[in-house]
Amino acid sequence: MHQLVIIGGGPAGISASIYAQRKRMDFVLITREIGGQVIKAGEIENYLGYAMVDGVMFVQRMMEQMERLGVKPILDEVVKVERLEEGFLLRTFSGKEYVSKVVLFCTGAEHRKLEVPGEREYTGRGVSYCYTCDAPFFKDVDVLVVGGGNAGFEAVDQLINYARRIYLMEIGEQFKADEVLREKVLSIQKVVPLLRHRVLEIKGDKRNVKSVLIEDLNPKRVYKLEVEGVFVEVGLKPNSELAKSLGVLTTQKEEIIIDCNNRTSERGVYAAGDCTNVFAKQIITAAGDGAKALLSVYHDLTYGIHSWI
């Protein structure tokens, strides 16, 4: 039986694994991929110690640190977690089984979908959830970015170097991105802001996106916007299904509820990062949360495991 299994290899999981290795714990890190959402990030300029670094390089640095410390992640996917009389049994996609005293969920989150006609059909053919990956494919064409938060504005910032015109859509009455981003992006002439708008349908030919049917909520009218790309940045959906199978309490947004020590409502179950109800979904907060969660696990294994209920 291991002391701990960490599920997820984004900043929270990697940070937790580094701290676990330094504590000489008997642990396993299981993840489908290394880096999580960071691997798809553009330029990162708000992480301590880095004036500017892109997502791929940042993940490479984390991998080098794990390798230097002797952390060897298992590239697999946990598909089922069961509570035993003492501890937990975890089964992976490859058919392997692991037994652990406690479990730390660092499963992150995935991009939310618009859930409109045409979205699934044209995913990869004009509809994108990764501006870093796909921006160069939209050179000299008009595109639509859906989402007025930081992610949406960062997508526009990447697309400025490629697209001819960029429509930036937000369903609310104002954009929610940081002031610095708003000032930078909205001052660019090729950016067309669309407040109080929403997507009704994505249309195209047999190959690619050609237009989007949108609704102007004030005044209320429906019209067609001719674009060849749609970048969806409308928030994140927590990967909390495995944790919920153990009975942990979640928010209405399906975020795993944790206390200040990263304990969940279930004894022996911990969580950190974007899969939780932590307010800020940032790389630096996820990394800090992973470290804090591991220290909490270590304390509880040493002095007695608790839950916050």
Angle, vertex CA 59, rays to CA 16 and CA 98, nearest 5 = 40
Among candidates 307, 141, 289, 293, which has minimal Cα distance to 227?
Answer: 141
pLDDT the model gives residue 37: 79
* Euclidean distance between CA atoms 1 and 43, whole angstroms: 41
Angle, vertex CA 256, rays to CA 133 and CA 251, nearest 5 = 105
Among candidates 108, 120, 105, which has minimal Cα distance to 41?
Answer: 108
pLDDT by residue for the chain (309 residues), tens only, comes to 999 999 999 999 999 999 999 999 999 999 999 988 787 666 777 788 887 888 888 889 999 999 999 999 999 999 999 999 999 999 999 999 999 999 999 999 988 999 999 999 999 899 998 887 789 999 999 999 999 999 899 999 999 999 999 999 999 999 999 999 999 999 999 999 999 999 999 999 999 999 999 999 988 899 999 999 999 999 889 999 999 999 999 999 999 999 999 999 999 999 999 999 998 888 899 999 999 999 999 999 999 887 777
- Type of residue numbered 252: Q
CA distances to 145, 150, 161, 184 from 180, in Å: 18, 10, 19, 6
* Euclidean distance between CA atoms 293 and 261, whole angstroms: 6
pLDDT the model gives residue 57: 87
Phi, psi of 97 (to 5 degrees): -125, 145
pLDDT the model gives residue 230: 97
CA distances to 210, 211, 236 from 122, in Å: 10, 11, 20
Output the six-digit token pair for 150.
Answer: 């930081």
Among candidates 37, 27, 46, 35, which has minimal Cα distance to 294?
Answer: 27
